[in-house]
Amino acid sequence: MPTSTLFKWRHFESEIILLGVRWYLRYSLSYRDLEEIMLERGVKVDHTTIFRWVQRYSPELDKRCRPYLRSTNDSWRVDETYIKVKGQWKYLYRAVDSQGNTLDFMLSAKRDTKAAKRFFKKVLGASHTIDPRVITVDKNAAYPPAIEALQEDEALPTDTETRQSKYINNTIEQDHRFIKRRVNPGLGFGSFNTARRTIRGYEAMNMIRKGQIKNVDRDDVIGQISFIHNIFGIAA
């Protein structure tokens, strides 16, 4: 969608909207926390409005930042974590490389071979990833058959090594924390679609925060803000 129509008919200026979305996705805040913070700065906005902003612009942030991601390496760490949706646990599949850079993610209602295979195909299709030399997974029995099926389909190189090790996978276990700290203030999600949209924003912000954007370093907070403004066509 062209940027010129992205904020059309919104009651607030695009800069205010992006500020609310960016703060919510980066910091461990509830929608009511953010409503208070915005009010302290002279902006009166209801928490439900901020929720609608996050739902609308989180997927857009994910989509717009992907062409600018640095390439990752060929050593994958794959794991899943639990996300509560309508009182039930769902599964967030996530993958990082050996340096902790995000490869991709996928929210799934099930934790089985079919879901694992679908996730691997998503990671392989990402523009910033390369074919893996080695894939490190935990003891989840669904991973090896999913990898074997992809190798039989020639979607994955046959010489890709599969390692099942809980301890080598500590890299991604640590990376889960950023996402979990943002999910917890909201006490779970009201629907699968709400969870999927919000998590896309969390993950996109996590990639930006980790310095995965070309020419924007990990510690360059001002540069990261400018990058977000630029991809949405807004002057910083």
Structure tokens that stand for 108 in this block: 């799934």
Task: Write down the CATH superfamily of domain 75-178.
Answer: Ribonuclease H-like superfamily/Ribonuclease H (3.30.420.10)
pTM for this one? 0.92
**What average pLDDT is seen over the chain?**
92
Percent of the chain at pLDDT exceeding 90: 79
Domain ranges for the chain, please list them.
Answer: 3-68+189-231, 75-178
Give dist(CA 49, CA 47) in Å, integer: 5
- Given strand 102-108, what is the order of strands in its sheet? 102-108, 88-97, 75-85, 134-137, 161-164
Helices marked H in 41-163 — which ranges?
A: 47-65, 113-125, 143-152
- Whether residue 233 is predicted with pLDDT greater than 80 in this model: the reply is yes
- Whether residue 165 is predicted with pLDDT greater than 80 in this model: the reply is no
Q: Which of 102, 148, 140, 143 is nearest to 123 (CA)?
A: 102
Give dist(CA 31, CA 229) in Å, integer: 22
- Whether residue 89 is predicted with pLDDT greater than 80 in this model: the reply is yes
